[in-house]
Amino acid sequence: MTRYGTIPSSSQSQPPPPQSPASSFPSGQKIRSTAENLIATAKPWKLMIQPQSLAIPATLPQSIDRIKANVAFFRSNYAIVAICALFLSLLWHPVSFILCLAVAAAWLFLYVLRNGGDPLVVGGQVIGQKTVVTSLLVGTMVVLFFTEVAEDIVVGLFAGIALIVVHGAVRETGDLVAVGGAVQDPAAIGSSSVAIAIPGSYQAAGNKNINK
């Protein structure tokens, strides 16, 4: 008697190809896209340092309001400033710079940029995610507590934060407009848009006919 049935396709009968050890590591495109995104979202640098927008705050609450508004508007720029300050502080200490770079690269390639569901294969051996994180934590603590890297990192971060705080306090926010919860350049939203003032920092100019 003839039997009728389905013929298994080649995709069902053949097992998926084994994952290459190199595929466990992220490609350079992810690192490049992250850096490009940070640079692309940065505001024009001349907007940060234009002389007509720099003034000493009259009161402490005014300086705090300015810092909050400027951090919201120039967050990508400030991130770049902090990274540059940290880089320059470590550049004067080559050993600390190399160790810090090695630790950062290890975290990026082995944890941050790697898909947690993909196994890490080294020398034909599969290493679990918990083992990877534990090894990274132990290595980071050894570098921080038994070298001068921690001190240099703290100095660089404090230098970057100091630059950000000083700029945020002296940079007036009168030309910044909060629209929909996001601080934007008023030239980019048009003259007909309604400006929502950041409390305590400036008086926004909006549509005079609104709520009439």
**Per residue in 15-55, pLDDT tens?**
544 444 444 444 456 666 767 777 888 888 888 888 888 99
- Amino acid at site 198: I
Contacts of 100 (CB under 8 A, 6+ apart): 90, 143, 149, 152, 153
- CA dihedral sign, ordered 32, 34, 36, 38: negative
Which residue in this structure is represented by tokens 């003259």? 191
Closest of 167, 139, 144, 155 to residue 78, by C-alpha = 167
Q: Stretch 121-138: mean pLDDT, rounded? A: 81
Per-residue pLDDT reduced to its tens digit, 147-202: 888 888 899 999 999 999 999 999 998 877 544 344 555 444 443 333 333 444 43
What is the 8-class DSSP label of residue 196? B
**Residue 5 pLDDT greater than 60, yes or no:** no
Residue in 114, 113, 108 with CA at minimum distance from that of residue 128: 114
Band the pLDDT of 1: cuts 50, 70, 90.
low
